[in-house]
Amino acid sequence: MTGTEIRATVLRLLGDVAPEADLAALRPDAPLREQLDLDSMDFLNLMIAIHEAFGVEIPEADYPRLATLDGCVEYLAGARRA
Amino acid sequence: MPVLGSDMEAGTLVAWRKRPGDPVRRGDIIAEVETEKGLIEVEVFDNGVVEKLLVEPGTKVPVGTVLALIREEGAPARPAAARPRATPAARRLAAERGVDVATLVGTGPEGAITREDVERAGAARPPRAVEPAPDQAARMRQAIAAAMARSKREVPHFYLSTTIDLGPALAWLARTNESRPVTARLLPGALLLKATALALREHPELNAHWVEGRPVPRAAVHVGMAIALRDGGLVAPAIHDTERRTLDELMGALRDLVARARAGTLRSSELSDPTITVTSLGDQGVETVFGVIYPPQVAIVGFGRIVKRPWVVEGGVAVRPVVTAALSADHRVTDGHRAARFLAAIDRYLQEPEGL
């Protein structure tokens, strides 16, 4: 899966978690929670959705690395190579 | 039409989920109604057989209106419809105002329908609309405005807060979550909820409803969780028997409730049953939340953001994660001394998270 495909998948999952969000205006390098008004439950749901879509186990200690869209793409690309 | 909030006056029957002759069990969904809180699934409270549906879909009716007749299990089929008991004055008024007395629940002697019952039903009927109906978000805001204004007008609130060391709870949570897949992890909110529910067992006066001028303690603890909706407004549906559930069960219930609240598929008992409300604005960055009590409840507990603060531990200063727990309570029901002990009990439970 390419970086572009990973990004598209994460965006789709974000759309499921926050259906009202304007994802076109999302800054990829800024925190998702602030931009999309995600609460703890939303963020956990996003982690679960990523886990299920990519088959990647995400330790809780790694959550900060998935705080932005760019961070998610980088983390998942690395996890899939590993 | 069930009462799904202290200021709900009417609801619109959207659809029936059962038909006459269908057997129903307690907890089955029999209908969907539209209210200020969105689309709500109406549950059945007894086992039996649906005998008759009394309200057509699309009809707005006042709370208390009988929507359907359910014959209890084992009871013989009802004979041809009996004439509802109503006073002559009630019948005259009903005829004038076009209210069908067969759809009302009487509050008079032996359940007779009174003139006041008819007046209430007439008042709750929708006006012949000239202006377009306000959208769902606006209607919810109106309902919140009515409930909160009534609360502040009628309920003598007092407020207490305490700062709680969450070090032991979060350390336990990190250890617990470390060995779990992401799908089975707990959030701190589940621990706060359970600690609150357990503390309520020790302080049942706060787990009560104010009914007809006196507090009525509730046997079960049904904590209502304040949930912000995407398009504004909030609902606070109950997690039934909160204090009896394990943390895993509470976490599952929280996830389910948040999803259904935002999808508009809450059940009637979830809105009518809360015995206290818990609200958390920690994700929004505030440290202290003093909520407004939702009548007929008599208390609301607010949790703020978990922040790191210098904290004295065994004579030294350490950096600890702390949270502020704030209580708004009804002074007709309890006082500062008891309320302070309730907050102290929440603190105590959170110091021993393995016991939650």
Q: Percent of chain B having pLDDT more than 90?
A: 57
- Of chain A, the end-to-end C-alpha distance in Å amounts to 13
A59: distance to nearest CA of chain B, Å?
A: 7
B177 touches chain A (CB under 8 A): yes
Which residue type does B341 have? R
d(CA B215, CA B156): 14
B181 touches chain A (CB under 8 A): yes
Q: What angle do CA B96, B101, B102 make, to 5 degrees?
A: 145
Predicted pLDDT at A41: 94
Predicted pLDDT at B270: 94
Does A51 contact B255 at a Cβ distance shorter than 8 Å?
no
- At B170-194, the pLDDT tens digits run 999 999 999 999 999 999 999 999 9
Question: CB-based contacts of B326: which residues, under 8 Å, 6+ apart?
Answer: B159, B160, B161, B288, B289, B290, B291, B301, B302, B303, B304
Q: What is the mean pLDDT of residues B81-102?
A: 71
Question: CB-based contacts of B313: which residues, under 8 Å, 6+ apart?
Answer: B320
- At B157-171, the pLDDT tens digits run 999 999 999 999 999
Closest CA to A17 of A57, A50, A60: A50
Q: What is the band of B240 on the pLDDT scale with cuts at 50, 70, 90?
A: very high
Give the range with max mean pLDDT: A19-23, B188-192, B258-262.
Answer: B188-192
Mutation target for A interface from B180, B192, B256, B283: give the one with most A CBs within 10 A: B283
The answer to whether the CB of B248 falls within 8 A of the CB of B217 is no
Predicted pLDDT at B143: 85
Q: Which of A18, A51, A60 sits opposite B177 (nearest CB)?
A: A60
Tell me the CATH number of domain B10-140, given options 3.50.50.60, 2.40.50.100, 3.40.50.2300, 1.10.3080.10: 2.40.50.100
Q: What number of C-beta contacts closer than 8 Å exist between A and B?
A: 41
Range of lowest pLDDT (B43-52, B273-282, B320-329): B43-52
d(CA B337, CA B331): 11
Q: Which fold has domain B156-355?
A: Chloramphenicol Acetyltransferase (3.30.559)
B115 touches chain A (CB under 8 A): no
- State both tokens at B129: 């609309």
**DSSP secondary structure letter of residue A46:** H
Question: Any idea where the domains of chain B sit in the sequence?
Answer: 10-140, 156-355
Which residue type does B14 have? V
The answer to whether the CB of B302 falls within 8 A of the CB of B276 is no
- State both tokens at B78: 């009802």
Q: What is the mean pLDDT of residues B58-67?
A: 88
Predicted pLDDT at B239: 97
Predicted pLDDT at B154: 95
Does A59 contact B283 at a Cβ distance shorter than 8 Å?
no
Does A40 contact B183 at a Cβ distance shorter than 8 Å?
no
Enumerate residues 238 to 277 of chain B having a beta carbon within 8 A of any beta carbon in chain A: 254-255, 258
CA distances from A66 to A7, A76, B92, B301 (A): 12, 9, 68, 32
Q: How far is CA B125 from the centre of its chain?
A: 24
Residue carrying the six token digits 């007439």: B122
- Cβ neighbours of A60 in B, within 8 Å: 174, 177-178, 182, 185
Which residue type does A42 have? D
Predicted pLDDT at B134: 64
Complex-level ipTM beyond the 0.95 threshold: no
d(CA B276, CA B64): 23
d(CA B161, CA B302): 9
Q: Over 80: is that where the pLDDT of B231 sits?
A: no
- Cβ neighbours of B255 in A, within 8 Å: 41, 44-45
Could you list the beta-strand ranges (E) of chain A: none
Predicted pLDDT at B127: 41
B179 touches chain A (CB under 8 A): no
β-bridge partners, B145: none
Q: What is the mean pLDDT of residues B201-206?
A: 96
CB atoms closer than 10 angstroms to residue B28: 17
Predicted pLDDT at B126: 46
Q: Percent of chain B having pLDDT more than 70?
A: 92
Does A20 contact B283 at a Cβ distance shorter than 8 Å?
no
B182 touches chain A (CB under 8 A): yes
B185 touches chain A (CB under 8 A): yes
CA dihedral of residues A36, A42, A43, A45 (deg, nearest 10) = -130
The answer to whether the CB of B164 falls within 8 A of the CB of B302 is no
- State both tokens at A64: 């900060």
- Residue of A21 and B222 predicted with greater confidence: B222
CA-nearest residue of chain B to A34?
A: B284
β-bridge partners, B291: none
Predicted pLDDT at B346: 98
Q: Which of A20, A39, A57 sits opposite B181 (nearest CB)?
A: A57
What 3-state class would DSSP assign to A37? coil
d(CA B207, CA B200): 6
Does the pTM surpass 0.90? The reply is: no
Predicted pLDDT at B208: 96
Q: What is the mean pLDDT of residues B97-118?
A: 72
**H helix or E strand, kind and range, residue A70:** helix A69-81
- At B111-161, the pLDDT tens digits run 778 777 777 776 655 443 334 456 778 888 888 888 899 999 999 999 999
**DSSP secondary structure letter of residue B354:** G
B153 touches chain A (CB under 8 A): no
Predicted pLDDT at B334: 96
Does B230 contact A51 at a Cβ distance shorter than 8 Å?
no
Q: What is the mean pLDDT of residues B66-77?
A: 82
Q: Over 80: is that where the pLDDT of B303 sits?
A: yes
Which residue type does B155 have? V
d(CA B182, CA A49): 10
Residue carrying the six token digits 């932005």: A68
The CATH code of the domain at A3-81 is 1.10.1200.10
CA-nearest residue of chain B to A36?
A: B230
Alpha helix locations (H) across chain B?
88-97, 115-124, 136-154, 167-178, 188-202, 247-263, 268-272, 336-351
Mean pLDDT of chain B: 88
Q: What phi and psi values does residue B211 have, to the nearest 5 degrees?
A: -130, 120
Which residue type does B22 have? D
Q: What is the band of B1 on the pLDDT scale with cuts at 50, 70, 90?
A: confident
Q: Over 80: is that where the pLDDT of B34 sits?
A: yes
- Torsion-angle region of B142 (φ positive above 0: left; ψ -120 to 50: alpha; else: beta): alpha
- Cβ neighbours of B183 in A, within 8 Å: 48, 51-52
B182: distance to nearest CA of chain A, Å?
A: 6
Q: What is the mean pLDDT of residues B6-23?
A: 86
Q: Which of A20, A39, A52 sits opposite B283 (nearest CB)?
A: A39
